[in-house]
Chain A
């Protein structure tokens, strides 16, 4: 316990650093996955190929990526960009399938009706299909976010500071409580980002069905009879 009390500053600094490293891959992964997912959803021929490749990306060991990327991209082995790019690739691997599935989950009758009312394809995608794909997309985004937060720790192996430092340092110095503190903090950061995403989802999609909530049922019940 003493170790924790003596190192609160270090833990705070590493936590903030960890969050800072986690956010860009989540955001970039999302931005890249939307067009990829759309292509996979829209063109049946590309679907199998794209989703398989995306799935395979996730199987590349992260350490291997840290070694392969620098020579390809011409950056330093120790650069932080390494982490950002590698983790973005993993996020894309998870999210492309989510976005494709999410777009596929939109009720064809609603899409058809939007067309019948005079939505052009572009407008229909952004104002009808994409928002309606939101709940399923968000579910995938939450998985990708938690996965990213946990993968950031691996960056310590190429010297990028994060909560992963507590693992390696704790192991080397045989301070178990330090390793344990690292695990707890990673979990807390993951939960925090997950909760923020869930809150944003409720804010942006007030119409979406809410599991484990009685509010919708209550509103249903109050629908006035004809």
Chain B
């Protein structure tokens, strides 16, 4: 019993310590905003590998999720004779909820794990240490561009996800199931509000981008530099960021839409 309580305490302390370390780490990397001249090419490179290379998975998933939403929504709504509301249903669920959340989850799996593995491997092969010895802060040179790239990419990916999803919904709803296109758009535009829905969705994506990239780069930087440690850190990135995204999503939704 005593042993159990002690181990609980030990665990809590270790967690708190890791949290503190990651906070400090984040502070140092954010303070290390890349200087424009030398930092910009690094940022572009990371935007490419983090953002551009994630496009395919985002577009394909967005398309399918939009199509499924449209199909499911239609079969329910048609019972009430309001199948023209399918556009509004697809758009609202995408913009408010699914785009930021699904994008963040996919992003954690696709880009987050890659970031962790890359930084972890750099640590294991002493690249980070040798960079430090050359007199270059790896937080500034390695971590900061990756962090900013993730932070910038996720909202963009999420917006693209929304648009592609609505297009998928349009394909299924209008072209296949025969909902009148005019009412599809009109219903959507009448119910989706820019400030309330679109902007809140983007804010969610920004928050998720921050958290997911933070977790990914920290896990890489903090990993035990062995092959086992890296694989463990990669797993942790995906698990922690998925949990964080889902938990934060509830919190943000309650804050944004809770009083409606």
| Pair from one complex | no
> Which A residues have a C-beta under 8 Å from some C-beta of B?
none
> Which B residues have a C-beta under 8 Å from some C-beta of A?
none
